[in-house]
Amino acid sequence: MNEANNKERIILGIDPGTAVMGYGLILEKGNKVELISLGVVKMEKIDDHMLKLQRIFEKTVALIDNYKPDCLAIEAPFYGKNIQVMLKLGRAQGMAIAAALSRNIDITEYAPRKIKQSITGNGSATKEQVAAMLQTLLKFKETPEFLDATDGLAVAVCHSFQRIPTSAGKSKKSYSGWETFVKDNSSRVKGTTK
């Protein structure tokens, strides 16, 4: 058995935002992934942008101190036409990154399209499609109040999928869709019957 298959690690995923920050934590055990927690940090009622940034930093540090993740996976700000929105999202992301750096945690950034592709097999998937796939994959029934929570969870799962080793000697395979992936990797998907 590959030594990497025996290791466990906790991954914190964050979808940064200045109104709502989504987060998800997963436990990776060899080739299996289990849900630890997911949720949101709400900031709509905070008027001062700097106070929002402070809350992002403090809540991220609290998540790290509470769950002791081995790494942070964070969604990169998407490119849009509104420069002010992009600047605010970049600052929000920077605060979460600074919080992880303050605790010496490894950080990996993923583009939104890469995250969606990793979870659903479609880089243009909707938030609802991503959430539904995560519910199937991680076997949870509760629908989070905010899709930002499942977006944060998706970043963590995406990061896990990048590292899960292929079987010894086999090269990585590309898949035409989620069903094909599940069929060929039933041991990696918790609770599948295929």
One pLDDT digit (tens) per residue for the chain, 194 residues: 344 456 899 999 999 999 999 999 999 998 899 999 999 999 999 999 999 999 999 999 999 999 999 999 999 987 777 888 889 999 999 999 999 999 999 999 999 999 999 999 999 999 999 999 999 999 888 766 678 899 999 999 999 999 755 443 333 444 445 566 566 666 666 554 44
Contact 86, 112 (CB under 8 A): no
Catalytically annotated residue among 15, 34, 179, 184: 15
Q: What is the pLDDT of residue 33?
A: 94
Spatial CA neighbour of 23 closest among 59, 70, 53, 50: 59
Q: What is the pLDDT of residue 140?
A: 86
**190 part of a folded domain:** no
Residues tagged in the binding site annotation for Mg(2+) = 15, 75, 148
Task: Write the CATH number for 161.
Answer: 3.30.420.10
Question: Has 70 been annotated as catalytic?
Answer: no
**38 part of a folded domain:** yes
Size of the chain, expressed as the number of residues it contains: 194
Query: Which residues have C-beta within 8 Å of that of residue 142, sequence separation ≥ 6?
Result: none
Q: What is the pLDDT of residue 14?
A: 97
Q: What is the pLDDT of residue 168?
A: 37
**49 part of a folded domain:** yes
Question: Rounded to whole angstroms, how far apart are CA atoms 118 and 125?
Answer: 10
Task: Give the residue numbers spanning the domain of 178.
Answer: 3-184
Catalytically annotated residue among 28, 148, 151, 179: 148
Question: Rounded to whole angstroms, how far apart are CA atoms 12 and 26?
Answer: 7
**189 part of a folded domain:** no
Q: What is the pLDDT of residue 78?
A: 75
Q: How many domains does the chain have?
A: 1
Catalytically annotated residue among 8, 75, 142, 179: 75
Q: What is the pLDDT of residue 48?
A: 95
Question: Has 106 been annotated as catalytic?
Answer: no
Question: Has 48 been annotated as catalytic?
Answer: no
Question: Rounded to whole angstroms, how far apart are CA atoms 20 and 75?
Answer: 14
Residue keyed to tokens 């081995």: 70
